[in-house]
Amino acid sequence: MKNILFLIVTSLFPFLVFAYPAQHELFELNKSMIQLWVSYEKGVTGTGSGVVIKKNHVATDCHVFQNATGVNVVKYHDTYSPIGVYADWEHDICVLKFDNLPLEPVEVRQSESIHYEEEVFTLTFPNDNPVPLPSYGKVKALYNFDKGSIIRTSATFTVGSSGGALFDNDFNLIGITTFKSPGKRLGYFYCLPTEWIDKVMQTKMLTDIRSETAPFWALPDEQKPFFMQVVLPLQDSNWAEVKRIAKMWTQSEDDSTNAWFYLGLAEKEFNRDFAKLFLNKSISLNPRNLDALKVLYELSSEEGDDESIKKYRSMIEAVDPDHFVDHNSQV
């Protein structure tokens, strides 16, 4: 019944959640979105998404067509073949080059300027859909990685969405939709930074789409970045393992708000004083880290600390003015 009530409330008051783009605005953006059709041996085919980032250049994920026998893009029932590719297989960012693609590019914004809880939306071709579909959400975390910021968003995507576009509310491209967290819970969705597009464009254009290099997110668990290593133990409530990974993370990246958040979250199960210390370290590095603020508010409420309750509630409302409105509507 609570879930039904929540669905009713959010459908009646969507303005409390996201400022949706108008249909005509989405229509204009759709003109710069393309669907990739990929062929493999033995007649196997697949699809993916891409976005025009400059004249005759389409950004996408390398894994969409890596080791395929052929790749084409489709727009308005017309098919176009690339003449080459700029590829960074390790970071899974590729740009296909064309000589006759009659599509206008989108505006691009550097990912480093993005803020936590900023409203965003994706445009992709999920499940072989012939037209791009939007998904709405917010920036939930930014992870510094190899001279870029990996974006975690609550805007969901699925099969066929790889290589699609993440936009801000001013319709600037801010990321490329790429991979989802493992497991069936949490649903963390990650996008690659636009800085990597600029970087790969400075490399030599290739004509071969074969590579044995695995993307960083597909490496064995112990070789993945800390922000990925922590997810499965978090899903399993294995707090000792979360603490172990987060501790290594803070030692490697002392200025990471996310590392201190996960260390504080895990420490909550062992020592609340340490938990509050680490969580406050997290918000000192980024006062917009809503996850850390919510845990601090929860701890203050459980302890009946009225002064801290007021403090963290005010900080939460500064980041997400509708947080307590949405929360109360679910009760």
pLDDT digits over 38-93, tens only? 999 888 999 999 999 999 999 999 999 999 999 999 898 899 999 999 999 999 99
What's the mean pLDDT in 219-235? 95
Q: Is the pLDDT of residue 171 over 50?
A: yes
pLDDT digits over 284-297, tens only? 999 999 999 999 99
Residues 58, 331: Cα–Cα separation, whole Å: 46
Task: Return the CATH architecture of domain 23-105+201-213.
Answer: Beta Barrel (2.40)
The pLDDT value recorded for residue 328 is: 55
Average pLDDT over the chain, rounded to whole? 91
Q: Is the pLDDT of residue 16 over 90?
A: no
The pLDDT value recorded for residue 251 is: 98
What's the mean pLDDT in 123-139? 94
pLDDT band at residue 185 under the 50/70/90 scheme:
low
Short-list 87, 60, 92, CA closest to 73: 60
Between 182 and 292, residue with greater pLDDT: 292
Contact 114, 172 (CB under 8 A): no
Contact 165, 152 (CB under 8 A): no
Top-tier CATH class for 107-193: mainly beta
The whole-model pTM stands at 0.90
Compute the C-alpha angle 180/184/188, nearest 5°: 30
Helix (H, G, I), strand (E, B) or coil at 171: coil
The residue ranges of every structural domain in the chain are: 23-105+201-213, 107-193, 221-329
> Which of the following CATH numbers is that of domain 221-329: 1.25.40.10, 1.10.287.130, 2.40.400.10, 3.40.50.12160?
1.25.40.10
Indicate if 107-193 has the same CATH topology as 23-105+201-213.
Answer: yes
